[in-house]
C-alpha cells in the first residue's frame, strides 16, 4: 500500500516521527510530500492538495495529513474529488472512518489528541472497507 504523507509546520515533528515508525510496521512504500524542512510560515492547503491529488489518482493508496488541529488539512483535502478525508482522534474512530465511510485520507492533529497518533495510524491502515449500505452511501457522496 502506497502511503502519501504531508504536514504543515504545526504537524512537522509528528510527521517525522510517523515517517520513522511506518517502516517498522511493514509500510515501506511511503512518500513524503512535504515540507522537507520546518518552515514556520508555510500554509497547509498546498500540502493537503498534493496528498489529495496523489490519493485520488491511486485508489489503493492512503494519505496522512497533519496540522495543529487536523481540521484545516481535512477541509482542504476534501476539496479534491475522490478524497474522503477523516479527522480521527482515536483508533476506534479511525477504524470506523475506514470501514463505514471508506476514508482514504487520515487527518491528524498535532496538538490535541489524547490517543497515541501511531495507534490511530495503525488502526486506519489496518481497517478494511465494509460494503453493503456503507458502500452505497459512499457512492452517493462520490456522485454528488
**pLDDT tens track of the chain, all 144 residues?**
999 999 999 999 999 999 999 999 999 999 999 999 999 999 999 999 999 999 999 999 999 999 999 999 999 999 999 999 999 999 999 999 999 999 999 999 999 878 899 999 999 999 999 888 778 888 888 888
Give the Cα separation of 133 and 128 in Å (integer). 15
Closest CA to 109 of 4, 14, 6: 14
Helix, strand or coil, per DSSP, at residue 87: strand
What's the pLDDT at 31? 98
Residue owning grid cell 482514504? 104
Q: What is the pTM of this model?
A: 0.95
Helix, strand or coil, per DSSP, at residue 136: helix
What stretches of the chain show up as alpha helix (H) in DSSP?
A: 12-21, 45-57, 71-77, 91-101, 117-126, 133-143
Domains and CATH numbers, the chain: 3-143 (3.40.1400.10)
Give the Cα separation of 60 and 136 in Å (integer). 19
Give the Cα separation of 84 and 63 in Å (integer). 10
Amino acid at each position: 500500500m502506497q502511503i502519501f504523507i504531508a504536514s504543515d509546520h504545526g504537524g512537522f515533528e509528528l510527521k517525522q516521527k510517523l515517517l520513522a515508525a511506518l517502516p517498522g510496521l511493514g509500510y515501506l512504500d511511503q512518500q513524503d510530500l512535504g515540507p522537507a524542512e520546518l518552515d514556520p510560515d508555510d500554509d497547509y492547503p498546498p500540502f493537503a492538495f498534493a496528498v489529495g491529488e496523489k490519493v485520488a489518482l491511486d485508489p489503493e493508496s492512503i494519505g496522512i495529513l497533519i496540522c495543529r488541529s487536523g481540521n484545516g488539512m481535512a477541509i482542504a483535502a476534501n476539496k479534491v474529488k475522490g478524497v474522503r478525508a477523516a479527522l480521527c482522534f482515536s483508533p476506534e474512530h479511525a477504524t470506523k472512518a475506514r470501514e463505514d465511510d471508506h476514508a482514504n485520507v487520515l487527518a491528524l492533529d498535532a496538538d490535541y489528541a489524547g490517543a497515541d497518533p501511531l495507534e490511530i495510524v495503525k488502526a486506519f491502515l489496518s481497517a478494511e472497507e465494509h460494503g453493503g449500505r456503507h458502500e452505497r452511501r459512499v457512492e452517493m457522496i462520490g456522485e454528488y
